[in-house]
Amino acid sequence: MFDSRKLRERKLFDDLFRDYEGPTFAIRLWNGWTWTSLSGERPTITVVIETPKALQALTMEPNELTLGQAFIRREIDVEGDVFSVFSVAEYLISRPHSLAGRVVDFLLRMGARSDRWFHHGARHSKERDRASIGYHYDQPAEFFRPWLGQTLAYSCAYFRSRADSLDLAQEQKLDLICRKLRLQPLERFLDIGCGWGSLILHAAEKYGVRSHGITLSQTQAQAAQCRIDSSGIKRRCTVELRDYRDCEKLSGSFDKIASVGMFEHVGLKNLSQYFKTVHRLLSPGGSFLNHGIARSPLSAVRQDSFIDRYVFPDGRLVTLSQATSAAESAGFEVRDVENLREHYELTLRKWVCSLRQNKDALLSYVSEETYRIWLLYMAGSEAAFRRGDIAVYQVLLSRPEQGNCRFPLVREDWYSASKTEKGVGV
């Protein structure tokens, strides 16, 4: 009887993965029985199925939500190279689903959308955006420090070498942004979506500007203020809880503006308003650096994905062409575009490594389910960047003053020895 059950299970997986061509992997069931995708080869990962319910999630109409939910509930686990498991997941999700499976997916999406509308209003309303930002960022700062590193920069780092440490690469990113904007002492600088204050502190300390940061996250604003208070540059660095759409009184107040990792929350619907607002905030002749993730025009838009449900509620990535078109329509001139896709892949690998190394410490601040959500999100994002489904772009824009952008003819100064490397502070 047991042998016949093993034969049925083997046939189930043989049929399910008949066309799979990714890295060799194994599946181990709760009873210890193991199947390997390619006999004779050592698997790079083992997918551990802990319950019959999890087996059903894997084999019957699997999608991002069912597989993701099984992982965060520890019904499915992964042993070995966690990044390789996404080849298996992509294969399963891409297989044709039955009409019944599509109906269930549709009903789940409608239920989630109705719940968000009832509690927080229309998508990308100010109230709902505050709720979405709070959901993602309002974890204790102590949860982020062990894996973000000393800078507390939660965005793509900049690696001059693959051997660079995360802290060095994040310092290089902050400095590259300041160089592209060509910040000068006493200029007025705004960081939209300033996070825990990394960029405003770096710009004020290293470039002597008057930095101001805004964020929708209460915990981020409090942490940034604490860092400012202990920095010794309080007179030149400030932060506040504010929506970028509530900055009417600040029009024309800034010489330079940056937005790093906030653009992803804007959404296509508000893209025009976003760039028009930033244009108004910027003085004529000023420049704006927008650092954000965009999706490839060739990648499918997944409605109500695992990330949308558990990580970034209402997050919708636009394409680079949609972003630059909206920026130009708002009056900006595009001066430079740089794709840092490989840099984000490296950043995410380091974050995942640190998440796993610091698991015990992190579980002092968040639940195991929250920890596993972040682990799955980071590892899955690395796979998406590696495939080229998404990329991160630094787009440098200017607001010309009668045609004058106040830029030199060349950009060698972006890559010369940095102020940090020279040991120069302001």
| Model confidence pLDDT, tens digit, residues 238-289 | 999 999 988 877 878 899 999 999 999 898 989 999 999 999 999 999 999 9
pLDDT at 111: 44
> What's 209's domain CATH number?
3.40.50.150
> What's 78's domain CATH number?
3.30.1050.10
Q: pLDDT by residue (tens digit) across 368-390? A: 999 999 999 999 999 999 999 99
**Residue 124, in any domain of the structure:** no
pLDDT at 97: 57
Residues 199 and 318 in one domain: yes
Residues 212 and 277 in one domain: yes
| Residue bearing the bigger pLDDT, 355 or 304 | 355
Residues 254 and 320 in one domain: yes
Q: What does pLDDT average to over the chain?
A: 86
End position of a domain, from candidates 94, 119, 148:
94
Length of the chain, in residues: 426
pLDDT band at 7 (very low <50, low <70, confident <90, very high): confident
Residues 36 and 165 in one domain: no
Residues 286 and 352 in one domain: yes
Those residues whose C-beta lies under 8 Å from the C-beta of residue 137, and which sit 6 or more positions away, are 195, 217, 219, 220
Residue 99 has pLDDT above 60, yes or no: no
Residue 130 has pLDDT above 60, yes or no: no
| Residue bearing the bigger pLDDT, 130 or 372 | 372
Q: Are 302 and 255 contacting, i.e. CB atoms less than 8 angstroms apart?
A: no
User: Rounded to whole angstroms, how far apart are CA atoms 231 and 361?
Assistant: 27
Residue 423 has pLDDT above 70, yes or no: no
Q: Are 359 and 132 contacting, i.e. CB atoms less than 8 angstroms apart?
A: no
End position of a domain, from candidates 35, 65, 94:
94
pLDDT band at 314 (very low <50, low <70, confident <90, very high): low
Chain-centre distance for alpha carbon 402: 37
Those residues whose C-beta lies under 8 Å from the C-beta of residue 215, and which sit 6 or more positions away, are 133, 193, 194, 195, 221, 224, 239, 241, 242
**Residue 99, in any domain of the structure:** no
291: tokens are: 């650092």
Bridge partners (DSSP) listed for residue 336? 396
User: Rounded to whole angstroms, how far apart are CA atoms 284 and 405?
Assistant: 9
pLDDT at 417: 60
pLDDT at 418: 54
User: Rounded to whole angstroms, how far apart are CA atoms 139 and 154?
Assistant: 13
| Number of domain units in the chain | 2
Of 203, 149, 215, nearest in space to 177 by CA? 203
Q: Are 178 and 201 contacting, i.e. CB atoms less than 8 angstroms apart?
A: no
- pTM, two decimal places: 0.86
User: Rounded to whole angstroms, how far apart are CA atoms 371 and 166?
Assistant: 20
Residue 304 has pLDDT above 70, yes or no: no
Residue 211 has pLDDT above 60, yes or no: yes
What is the three-state SS of the chain? CHHHHHHHHHHHHHHHCCCCCCCCEEEECCCCCEEECCCCCCCCEEEEECCHHHHHHHHCCCCHHHHHHHHHCCCEEEEECHHHHHHHHHHHHHCCCCHHHHHHHHHHHHHHHHHHHHHHCCCCCHHHHHHHHHHHHCCCHHHHHHHHCCCCCCCCCCCCCCCCCHHHHHHHHHHHHHHHHCCCCCCEEEEECCCCCHHHHHHHHHHCCEEEEEECCHHHHHHHHHHHHCCCCHHHEEEEECCHHHCHHHCCCEEEEEEECCHHHCCHHHHHHHHHHHHHHEEEEEEEEEEEEEECCCCCCCCCCHHHHHCCCCCCCCCHHHHHHHHHHCCCEEEEEEECHHHHHHHHHHHHHHHHHCHHHHCCCCCHHHHHHHHHHHHHHHHHHHHCCEEEEEEEEECCECCECCCCCCCHHHCCCCHHHHCCCC
Mean pLDDT of 329-339: 98
**Residue 175, in any domain of the structure:** yes
pLDDT at 118: 42
**Residue 62, in any domain of the structure:** yes
Residue 131 has pLDDT above 60, yes or no: no
Residues 181 and 51 in one domain: no
Residues 270 and 338 in one domain: yes
Residue 101 has pLDDT above 80, yes or no: no
pLDDT at 28: 95
pLDDT at 188: 97
User: Rounded to whole angstroms, how far apart are CA atoms 76 and 68?
Assistant: 9
Greatest CA separation for the chain: 84
| Residue bearing the bigger pLDDT, 195 or 95 | 195
Residue 426 has pLDDT above 70, yes or no: no
Residues 67 and 177 in one domain: no
User: Rounded to whole angstroms, how far apart are CA atoms 330 and 333?
Assistant: 9
Residue that the structure tokens 């708002």 belong to: 330
Q: pLDDT by residue (tens digit) across 156-190? A: 999 999 999 999 999 999 999 999 999 999 999 99
Residues 69 and 147 in one domain: no
pLDDT at 63: 87
pLDDT band at 356 (very low <50, low <70, confident <90, very high): very high
Of 119, 98, 45, 126, nearest in space to 379 by CA? 45
Residue 13 has pLDDT above 50, yes or no: yes
User: Rounded to whole angstroms, how far apart are CA atoms 192 and 266?
Assistant: 12
Residues 90 and 141 in one domain: no
pLDDT band at 104 (very low <50, low <70, confident <90, very high): very low
**Residue 123, in any domain of the structure:** no
Identity of the residue numbered 262: M
Mean pLDDT of 189-196: 96
Mean pLDDT of 76-99: 85
pLDDT band at 56 (very low <50, low <70, confident <90, very high): confident
pLDDT at 397: 98
**Residue 297, in any domain of the structure:** yes
**Residue 165, in any domain of the structure:** yes
pLDDT band at 71 (very low <50, low <70, confident <90, very high): very high
Residues 140 and 90 in one domain: no
End position of a domain, from candidates 43, 74, 94:
94
Give, rounded to a whole angstrom, the gap between the first and last alpha carbons of the chain: 78
**Residue 162, in any domain of the structure:** yes
pLDDT at 360: 96
Residues 70 and 198 in one domain: no
Q: Are 295 and 243 contacting, i.e. CB atoms less than 8 angstroms apart?
A: no
Q: Are 200 and 212 contacting, i.e. CB atoms less than 8 angstroms apart?
A: yes
* Residue numbers of the domain that contains 370: 134-422
Distances (CA, A) of 233 to 32, 55, 207, 226, 425: 60, 56, 12, 12, 12
User: Minimum mean pLDDT among 53-62, 289-298, 347-356: which range?
Assistant: 53-62
